[in-house]
């Protein structure tokens, strides 16, 4: 079954996938080619790489985990797109050790900036991998979503700690090294020379709704997906989103 058809996967990826698919469609028209060259940094097992390859694009996935790349290879083969997906071991800070500069129509940088030592350098490298008129899809953990989640779980001191901490961490046990506001991500994108095309809040409600409700209530998944899509572009909800998505576009 496609990732986009699994309810839980859909709740995690639907908003980003729709924005990304539209961006790829625009790149196809701009490039005058049906098949784009797409780079997915930190692409792991292919949550976005495999669907992009199903659209006919050629996707290079750079990830530091050999296990993830092995799973990616298997997943691409099962989806019938093994000839359009290539996995390479590496990371965004050493990106040009494994891929060429200026060789891609679109670059995905999803779930990467939270873990690198220098997020600004990571974004600059991602942008340097783009061709003229290319697009960058940036997805990272949102500060407000973590604060809200800790507070709703009754961990009020941790919620306040995340709010005050420069990296947005709620304590020593926090598994996420760094979180961002929408403004911070937009500044990273514009600072690397791209025009900020759109900002979306991702998983505004999905992580707060009890799983039993989503799994058992008829029509709940579809209704929640529609709600997530409806609020994704509204700035008022960006401050409570679990993740934030920024689309940057390179102008010739």
- The band of 66, judged by pLDDT with boundaries at 50, 70 and 90, is very high
CA–CA separation, 51 and 218 (whole Å):
27
Q: What are 32-47's pLDDT values in tens digits?
A: 888 999 999 999 999 9
**Beta carbons within 10 angstroms of residue 166's beta carbon:** 6
CA–CA separation, 241 and 225 (whole Å):
14
- The band of 252, judged by pLDDT with boundaries at 50, 70 and 90, is low
Pairing of strands 85-89, 104-110: unpaired
pLDDT at 190: 96
- Residue 167 has, within 13 A of its CA and on its CB side, a CA count of 16
Nearest to 126 by CA among 49, 202, 188: 188
CB 42 within 8 A of CB 89: no
State how far Cα 87 lies from the chain centre.
18
CB 232 within 8 A of CB 142: no
Q: What percent of the chain is predicted at pLDDT more than 90?
A: 82
Q: What are 195-222's pLDDT values in tens digits?
A: 999 999 999 998 888 777 777 778 888 8
Q: Averaged over 233-245, what is the pLDDT?
A: 95
Task: Check pLDDT > 90 for residue 233.
Answer: yes
Global confidence as pTM: 0.91
pLDDT at 213: 74
- The band of 2, judged by pLDDT with boundaries at 50, 70 and 90, is very low
Coil/strand/helix, residue 90: coil
Q: What does pLDDT average to over the chain? A: 92
Q: What are 95-138's pLDDT values in tens digits?
A: 999 999 999 999 999 999 999 999 999 999 999 999 998 999 99
Task: Check pLDDT > 50 for residue 177.
Answer: yes
**Beta carbons within 10 angstroms of residue 31's beta carbon:** 17
Task: Check pLDDT > 90 for residue 170.
Answer: yes
Q: How far is CA 100 from CA 26, 30, 75, 107, 229, in A?
A: 23, 21, 25, 12, 35
CB 140 within 8 A of CB 113: yes
Q: Which tokens go with 110?
A: 């999803």
What are the residues facing 244 on neighbouring strands?
A: 140, 201
Q: How far apart are the first and last CA of the chain?
A: 39
- Residue 163 has, within 13 A of its CA and on its CB side, a CA count of 14
Q: Which H or E run includes 98? A: none
């Amino acid at each position: 079954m496609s990732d986009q058809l699994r309810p839980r996967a859909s709740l995690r990826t639907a908003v980003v996938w729709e924005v990304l698919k539209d961006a790829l469609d625009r790149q196809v028209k701009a490039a005058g080619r049906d098949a784009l060259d797409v780079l997915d940094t930190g692409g792991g097992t292919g949550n976005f790489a495999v669907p992009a390859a199903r659209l006919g694009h050629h996707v290079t996935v750079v990830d530091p985990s050999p296990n993830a790349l092995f799973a990616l290879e298997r997943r691409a083969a099962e989806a019938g797109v093994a000839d359009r997906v290539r996995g390479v071991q590496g990371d965004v800070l050493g990106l040009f050790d494994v891929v060429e500069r200026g060789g891609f129509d679109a670059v995905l940088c999803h779930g990467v900036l939270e873990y690198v030592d220098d997020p600004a350098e990571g974004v600059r490298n991602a942008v340097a991998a783009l061709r003229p008129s290319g697009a960058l899809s940036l997805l990272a953990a949102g500060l407000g979503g973590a604060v809200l989640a800790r507070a709703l779980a009754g961990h009020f001191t941790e919620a306040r700690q995340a709010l005050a901490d420069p990296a947005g961490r709620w304590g020593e046990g926090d598994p996420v090294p760094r979180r961002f506001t929408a403004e911070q991500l937009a500044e990273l994108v514009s600072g690397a020379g791209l025009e900020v095309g759109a900002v979306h809040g991702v998983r505004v409600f999905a992580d707060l709704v009890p799983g039993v409700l989503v799994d058992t209530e008829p029509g709940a998944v579809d209704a929640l997906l529609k709600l997530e899509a409806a609020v994704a572009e509204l700035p008022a909800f960006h401050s409570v989103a679990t993740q934030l998505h920024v689309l940057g576009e390179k102008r010739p």
